[in-house]
């Protein structure tokens, strides 16, 4: 199941920016709808992202293995080590940092900041050209 992110929220006044480019947070789903260890593929303004809940926290990465571009939403998730395991060639990526931790992938996957807003919705940050 692919989920399309809905409403957009501007960054709150007084918050720190990642860089000089615009950053915006996109509401994805209520936090209680994703259990620990679950993966959810979402598309945000045409960008494929995979959202993971791990030990009560939310992490978001690009939804493609950097080795052969296979969708990481079809990966396994090793909750013990906090890694996505690509279903195609078993490359592993740390969900917290995006780092490639097991070959054949050698390049990290892009990560996106996440937060849970006051209404309990998980939001994913887009910055730079993606924030427009």
What is the end-to-end Cα distance of the chain in Å, rounded? 26
Q: What is the pLDDT of residues 68-91, one digit of tens each?
A: 888 998 878 998 999 999 988 899
Region 3-10+35-127: CATH code: 2.102.10.10
Sheet holding 76-78, edge to edge: 76-78, 83-85, 92-94, 100-102
Q: What is the pLDDT of residues 13-28, one digit of tens each?
A: 433 444 446 788 999 9
In the chain, the percentage of residues whose pLDDT exceeds 90 is 61
CA-CA-CA-CA torsion sign (124, 115, 91, 104): positive
Out of 8-12, 61-65, 117-121, least confident range: 8-12
What is the domain partition of the chain in residue ranges? 3-10+35-127
């Amino acid at each position: 199941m692919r989920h399309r992110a809905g409403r957009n929220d501007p960054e709150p006044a007084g918050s720190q920016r990642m860089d000089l480019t615009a950053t915006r947070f996109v509401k994805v789903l209520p936090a209680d709808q994703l259990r620990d260890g679950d993966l959810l593929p979402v598309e945000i303004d045409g960008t494929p992202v995979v959202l993971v809940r791990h030990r009560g926290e939310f992490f978001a990465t690009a939804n493609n293995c950097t080795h052969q571009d296979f969708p990481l939403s079809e990966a396994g998730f090793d909750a013990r080590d906090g890694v996505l395991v690509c279903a195609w060639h078993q490359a592993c990526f740390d969900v917290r940092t995006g780092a490639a931790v097991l070959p054949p992938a050698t390049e990290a996957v892009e990560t996106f900041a996440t937060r849970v807003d006051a209404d309990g919705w998980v939001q994913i940050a887009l910055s730079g050209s993606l924030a427009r």
